[in-house]
């Protein structure tokens, strides 16, 4: 009798495991949901451009591409129509690709790369954006590097005070000092594109502007294995046509230290401190010794006022989109205005 009860119990347990496994399998199947890009983006063309940007990154990663292949990834045909479809899977957004030089038929973009780009309801809870209070957040940004001496010195300062910043680097310098660009990312900071050799985009036309951005993206990818998300145009000049062709968010600034014009550490500090409030993007340069020397005091004084120093992505809550330019938290406009 006891053996019979044990046998029945074993069968019940086995049946329970089978049923549980079946329900898990069924659940796994139901996680694959076909959606249109119109649904994912609420028919927002800027969001769709952000998906294309993430897709390029994934193609390069999935194929373990070399820097020389970055130019080719911009020639891959990616969805531009809201009626096109993709699949939500357990691992990310799965997209079918048309014939391309990478010989990739399908990619899956991790949801972490789509945070703030597609609507929250299509993302796992861990990757959804929530409201953030930016009244006590400031983003320090540094242009024109990397510099072989000053950028490493600045990185040590940021590490010492446990803060992060965003660096907009010039492609020709990245190609000379790739280790420094890697060190920027290794320190938890962000890298952005600041053109190849710092021309005024308004004077060179759309084709040359795209070439400047693509060439720098290639240099940054070659150095770090990742494409930069943002572009900061030299002098802040960019046309609507150029912004549309680039398909990367444009990052401007709300506080201009003008450190390049007077090269004076005390004045750098004063200029930043008098104009900086919550939600600001501060423009400085990591190619001037006086500017780099001013950073420790600026950090200490901003912290003393209760500000948290963050990356551009954190300040903008990961919601920056191609076709728009951002001057600070909540301050954005269409490109070319």
140 phi, psi to nearest 5 deg? -85, 135
Residue 132 is given by DSSP the state: -
Q: Which of the following is catalytic: 127, 143, 147, 259?
A: 143
Q: Which of the following is catalytic: 144, 285, 286, 288?
A: 285
Q: Which two tokens stand for residue 276?
A: 């900086």
Q: Give the Cα separation of 92 and 112 in Å (integer).
A: 8
Taking CA atoms, 300 is separated from 130, 152, 269, 296, 309, in Å, by: 28, 19, 11, 6, 10
31 Cβ neighbours under 8 A, 6+ residues apart: 88, 89, 90
Taking CA atoms, 113 is separated from 116, 154, 181, 198, 294, in Å, by: 9, 28, 21, 29, 34
- 81 is annotated as an active-site residue: no
Taking CA atoms, 301 is separated from 161, 226, 273, 306, in Å, by: 12, 34, 8, 9
- 143 is annotated as an active-site residue: yes
Other Cβ atoms less than 10 A from the Cβ of 143: the count is: 23
Radius of gyration in angstroms for the set of CA atoms belonging to the chain, rounded to a whole number: 24
Q: State the catalytic residues.
A: 143, 285
């Amino acid at each position: 009798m006891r053996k019979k009860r044990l046998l029945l119990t074993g069968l019940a347990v086995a049946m329970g495991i089978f049923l549980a496994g079946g329900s898990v399998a069924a659940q796994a199947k139901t996680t694959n949901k076909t959606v249109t890009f119109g649904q994912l983006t609420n028919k927002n063309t800027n969001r769709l451009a952000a998906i294309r940007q993430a897709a390029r990154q994934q193609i390069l990663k999935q194929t373990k591409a070399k820097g020389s292949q970055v130019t080719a990834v911009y020639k891959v045909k990616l969805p531009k129509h809201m009626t096109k479809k993709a699949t939500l899977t357990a691992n990310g957004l799965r997209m079918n690709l048309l014939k391309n030089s990478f010989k990739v038929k399908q990619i899956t973009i991790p949801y972490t790369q789509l945070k703030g780009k597609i609507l929250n309801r299509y993302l796992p809870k861990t990757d959804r954006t929530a409201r953030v209070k930016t009244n006590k957040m400031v983003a320090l940004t540094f242009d024109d590097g990397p510099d072989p001496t000053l950028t490493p010195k600045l990185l040590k300062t940021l590490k010492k005070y446990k803060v992060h910043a965003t660096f907009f680097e010039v492609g020709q310098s990245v190609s000379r000092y790739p280790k420094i660009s890697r060190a920027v990312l290794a320190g938890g900071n962000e890298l952005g594109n600041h053109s190849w050799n710092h021309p005024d985009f308004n004077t060179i036309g759309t084709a040359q502007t795209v070439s400047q951005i693509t060439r720098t993206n290639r240099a940054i990818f070659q150095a770090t294995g990742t494409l930069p998300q943002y572009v900061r145009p030299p002098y802040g000049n960019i046309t609507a046509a150029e912004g549309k062709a680039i398909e990367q968010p444009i990052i401007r600034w709300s506080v201009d230290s003008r450190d390049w014009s007077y090269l004076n550490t005390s004045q750098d500090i004063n200029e930043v401190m008098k104009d900086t409030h919550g939600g600001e993007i501060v423009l400085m340069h990591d190619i001037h010794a006086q500017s780099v020397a001013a950073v420790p005091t600026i950090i200490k004084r901003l912290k003393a006022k209760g500000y948290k120093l963050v990356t551009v992505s954190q300040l903008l809550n990961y919601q920056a989109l191609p076709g728009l330019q951002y001057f600070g938290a909540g301050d954005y406009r269409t490109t070319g205005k």
